[in-house]
Amino acid sequence: QACTFPCQCPSQPLQCPAGTSHVLDACGCCKVCARQLGELCSLHRPCDHHKGLYCDFSKIHRGSGICLAHEGATCDLLGKIYLNGESFQPTCKLQCICLDGAVGCIPLCSEDLRLPSPDCPHPRRVRAHNKCCEEWVCEEGSDNDLGAAMAVFREDPAQKPELNNLQENCLVQTTAWSACSRSCGMGISARVTNDNPRCRLEKETRLCMVRPCDFPMEKTKKGKKCVRTPRPRQSLHFEFSGCTSTRSYRPRFCGSCSDGRCCTPDLTSTADVEFRCPEGDSFHRKMMFIKVCSCHYDCPRDNDIFLATYHRRMIGDHV
């Protein structure tokens, strides 16, 4: 089909399956759900190039092709072999993809937490019939049971907190940020907080980078055992899932310790960073900025999201 200008795109927001990227059509007009491995494709129905797929027109005629993956290693998960570029669900709670021998997964169920509140003094997660993910249900309790719910609210003998006034009466409880999920490159850090309008305990994440994987380490000065917080000589743009930060930064990174200890962030701050993608989309993410690093023997374990490799990353899967 020929392209028509000006572009005419559907008014309804695009709904794609979990793990499927939004990509531009051949006209560069509208976002469409990218075709996956083994599916029919065309110029107007492109394959998911973020996953290394391309449209092979040699096997099917009349302007259609089939999505194939570039050569790469297969993945072995729980005794089952998956092809490079193949998307699969090992359980109903996970959507995974094989990328050149590495398996990356995203959760399909919400992992939010919930504190007792006046409108829900006894929250409980239950699994509904014929549903994979658990859901929160609220059980009625007596007036005495409200004591647990009031534990996170300011005591006011004159009146109980109204539902529309929860944030004003909420006693904010926030855990410390967890260690970055990667020792080098872009990772994820998380914490739990109830600093929200519903005073509800929820998981919050931020991007983090302890050091770039190709960051040249300075030599330790004579008599010292650590290089704690080196800065890059030139400002740089952060990259996340194939997208680039709109402005450049000159952040501090953690250096190295010559006596076998680990060098990790000790004092950090969080700021909002805007990323722009090749397709023209933009989004904001919270990101960790290091102020001070320290050397210690309590070294974090490697818990990268990819199970089989350290040198590969999923490119462009920002949706």
Q: Are 229 and 217 in contact (CB under 8 A)?
A: no
- Check whether residue 94 and residue 6 sit in a common domain: yes
pLDDT of residue 286: 93
Q: Which residues pair with 188 in a beta bridge?
A: 207
CB 170 within 8 A of CB 201: no
- Given this model, what pLDDT does residue 73 score? 79
Percent of the chain with pLDDT over 70: 75
Stretch 122-134: mean pLDDT, rounded?
Answer: 82
Return the ∠ at Cα 161 (arms to 158 and 164), rounded to 5°.
Answer: 140
Structure confidence at residue 317 as a pLDDT band (50, 70, 90): very low
Q: Within this chain, do residues 68 and 117 fall inside the same structural domain, yes or no?
A: no
Q: What is the mean pLDDT of the chain?
A: 76
> Based on the domain organization, do 4 and 88 belong to the same domain?
yes
Q: What is the pLDDT of residues 290-300, one digit of tens each?
A: 988 888 777 75
**Cis upstream peptide for 116 (omega within 30°):** no
Are both 127 and 62 inside the same structural domain?
A: no
Whether 191 and 272 map to the same domain: the answer is yes
Same domain, 26 and 101: yes
Q: Given a cut of 60, is residue 219 above it in pLDDT?
A: no
Dihedral sign from CA coordinates of 7, 25, 58, 89: negative
Mark whether 270 and 207 lie in a shared domain: yes
- CATH code of the domain containing 270: 2.10.90
282-296: strand order across its sheet: 187-193, 202-208, 282-296, 262-276, 243-245, 239-240
Report the domain count for the chain.
3
Residue 16 domain flag: yes
Whether 204 has a pLDDT exceeding 70, the answer reads yes
Position 287 confidence tier, pLDDT thresholds 50, 70, 90: very high
| CA angle 51–52–55, rounded 5-degree value | 110
Residues 257 and 288 occupy one common structural domain: yes
In a domain, 288, yes or no: yes
Residue 199 lies in a domain: yes
Per-residue pLDDT of 154-182, as tens digits, reads 555 455 545 445 566 778 888 888 888 88
Taking a C-beta distance cutoff of 8 angstroms, is the pair 238, 249 a contact?
Answer: yes
Lowest mean pLDDT among 78-87, 148-157, 218-227, 271-280: 148-157
Supply the range of the domain harboring residue 24: 1-107
In a domain, residue 164? The reply is no
On whether residue 235 sits in a domain, the answer given is yes
Residues 6+ apart with CB under 8 A from 164: none
Element (H, E) at 167: helix 166-169
